[in-house]
């Protein structure tokens, strides 16, 4: 269903669109020349329906967001390359395009070739989401080389890369594609957000990525959760990332949970660098499940006021923490004083989730109250009745709403 003239969404409808006839009624609802966003995620699209969709997309001259996450559930592996080719080829010339999402499609390394022409030739998009596609090392290398080629073409034309956000978690990229990704990231140079969690990348690959990402001085968000930074006591990955941290003065979020950072009673070098103030704008530090010990908590506590002034969220769950650790207690006090939050155990996380749910419920109640007031005013205006002040009506309604 089209929500307005510029946004077309069938997201999460669970539709099975096999033929042109299946998809035609939906595409007929909106003028492609006015379209700015299209959301097809959570439906399944066959080859013929994809061809019709591609013809529609070719007419979308102002398209900014293309969401095609989870559109091949239940499709044969032989169908996916044809459908993917049609969709991606229709987007190649879209200079207005900002974001492409192909996550959760599980097309695997065998079906990545259809994406290559788009990645190489469309150099306008800024956000690329390829989460949970089962790429594997071979598929990852193909796509990384395509992005590298794109950066090289831009450079040859005297232009800077537009790529700002790259999300590619849960793809089994492993070490085999890490060097290719590192080369691609270094060539683009303008990344602001990078998310590559749960990829089975080990120390050698992690080291290569650190060197490549160090060429992106504007990075604000890094998520490398559940990859491995060390090997049999060897700390090459930790040292490489420690060195690269100083290259990211704008960094605000760093997620290194489940990354084997523990140092057997010593503070991991990488966290020492953070505590010493390598990233003065750091707002969120996630280092759960790294077997960190008292020495790390002590260092963080000692530097929380001087070198970590902007830190507002610190997650330390599932490390080697003692219940009565005075440094953790001091960290908790410091975070509360600045309005921040320290997570040390599951209870902290559950409390935060409850607070978020309550805030969401309050926001929904406020939106419903506003809608009710607007409807009441409209009815009274049409009936010629006196209208009470809108702010007073809203306040009265909200006073009667209690969020448990």
Tell me, what CATH number does 159's domain have? 3.80.10.10
Instruction: Determine contact, residues 225/196, Cβ cutoff 8 Å.
Output: no
Model pTM? 0.86
Residue 259 domain-assigned? yes
* Structural domain includes residue 99: yes
Q: Is residue 400 one of the residues assigned to a domain?
A: no
Burial class (CB in 10 A: 0-12, 13-18, 19+), 166: buried
CA–CA dist 315, 329 (Å, integer): 14
Q: Which one, of 124, 132, 135, lies nearest residue 99 by Cα?
A: 124
The domain of 342 spans 7-364
Give the max Cα distance, the chain. Answer: 80
Our count of domains for the chain comes to 1
In a domain, 399, yes or no: no
Residue 395 resides in a domain: no
Q: Is residue 372 a part of any domain in this protein?
A: no
Residue 59, pLDDT score: 97
The answer to whether position 390 is within a domain reads no
Q: For residue 400, give every residue at least 6 positions away whose Cβ sits within 8 Å of its Cβ, in sequence order, or none.
A: none
User: What is the residue-level pLDDT of the chain in tens, covering all 404 positions?
Assistant: 555 789 999 999 999 999 999 999 999 989 999 999 999 999 999 999 999 999 999 999 999 999 999 999 999 989 999 999 999 999 999 999 999 999 999 888 889 999 999 999 999 999 999 999 999 999 999 999 999 999 999 999 999 999 999 999 999 999 999 999 999 999 999 999 999 999 999 999 999 999 999 999 999 999 999 999 999 888 899 999 999 999 999 999 999 999 999 866 678 999 999 999 999 999 999 999 999 999 999 999 999 999 999 999 999 999 998 888 999 999 999 999 999 999 998 765 545 545 555 546 565 566 566 656 566 665 666 666 676 666 666 666 666 655 44
Is 208 inside any structural domain?
yes
């Amino acid at each position: 269903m089209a929500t307005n003239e510029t946004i077309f969404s069938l997201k999460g409808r669970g539709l099975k669109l096999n033929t042109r006839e299946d998809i035609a009624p939906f595409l007929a609802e909106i003028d492609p020349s006015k379209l700015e966003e299209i959301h097809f995620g959570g439906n399944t699209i066959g080859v013929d329906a994809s061809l019709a969709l591609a013809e529609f997309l070719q007419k979308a001259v102002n398209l900014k967001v293309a969401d095609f996450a989870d559109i091949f559930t239940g499709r044969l592996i032989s169908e996916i390359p044809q459908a993917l080719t049609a969709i991606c080829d229709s987007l190649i010339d879209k200079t207005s395009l900002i974001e492409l999402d192909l996550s959760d499609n599980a097309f695997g390394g065998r079906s990545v070739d259809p994406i290559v022409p788009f990645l190489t030739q469309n150099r306008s998009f800024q956000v690329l989401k390829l989460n949970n596609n089962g790429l594997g090392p071979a598929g990852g290398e193909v796509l990384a080389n395509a992005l590298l080629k794109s950066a090289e073409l831009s450079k040859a034309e005297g232009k800077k890369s537009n790529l700002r956000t790259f999300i590619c978690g849960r793809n089994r990229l492993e070490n085999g594609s890490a060097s290719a990704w590192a080369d691609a990231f270094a060539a683009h140079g303008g990344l602001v957000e990078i998310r590559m969690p749960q990829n089975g990348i080990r120390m050698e690959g992690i080291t290569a990525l650190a060197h490549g990402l160090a060429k992106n001085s504007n990075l604000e968000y890094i998520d490398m959760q559940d990859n491995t930074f060390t090997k049999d006591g060897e700390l090459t990955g930790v040292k490489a990332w420690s060195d690269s941290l100083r290259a990211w003065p704008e960094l605000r979020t760093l997620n290194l949970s489940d990354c084997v950072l523990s140092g057997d009673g010593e503070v991991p070098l990488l966290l020492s660098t953070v505590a010493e103030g390598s990233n003065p704008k750091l707002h969120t530090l996630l280092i759960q499940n790294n077997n960190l010990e008292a020495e790390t908590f002590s260092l963080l506590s000692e530097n929380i006021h001087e070198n970590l002034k902007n830190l507002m969220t610190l997650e330390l769950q599932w490390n080697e923490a003692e219940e009565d650790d005075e440094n953790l207690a001091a960290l908790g006090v410091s975070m509360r004083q600045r309005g921040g939050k320290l997570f040390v155990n599951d209870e902290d996380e559950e409390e935060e989730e409850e607070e978020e749910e309550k805030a969401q419920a309050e926001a929904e109640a406020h939106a419903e109250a506003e809608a009710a007031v607007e409807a009441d005013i409209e009815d009274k205006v049409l009936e010629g009745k006196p209208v009470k002040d809108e702010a007073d009506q809203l306040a009265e309604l909200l006073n009667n709403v209690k969020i448990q």
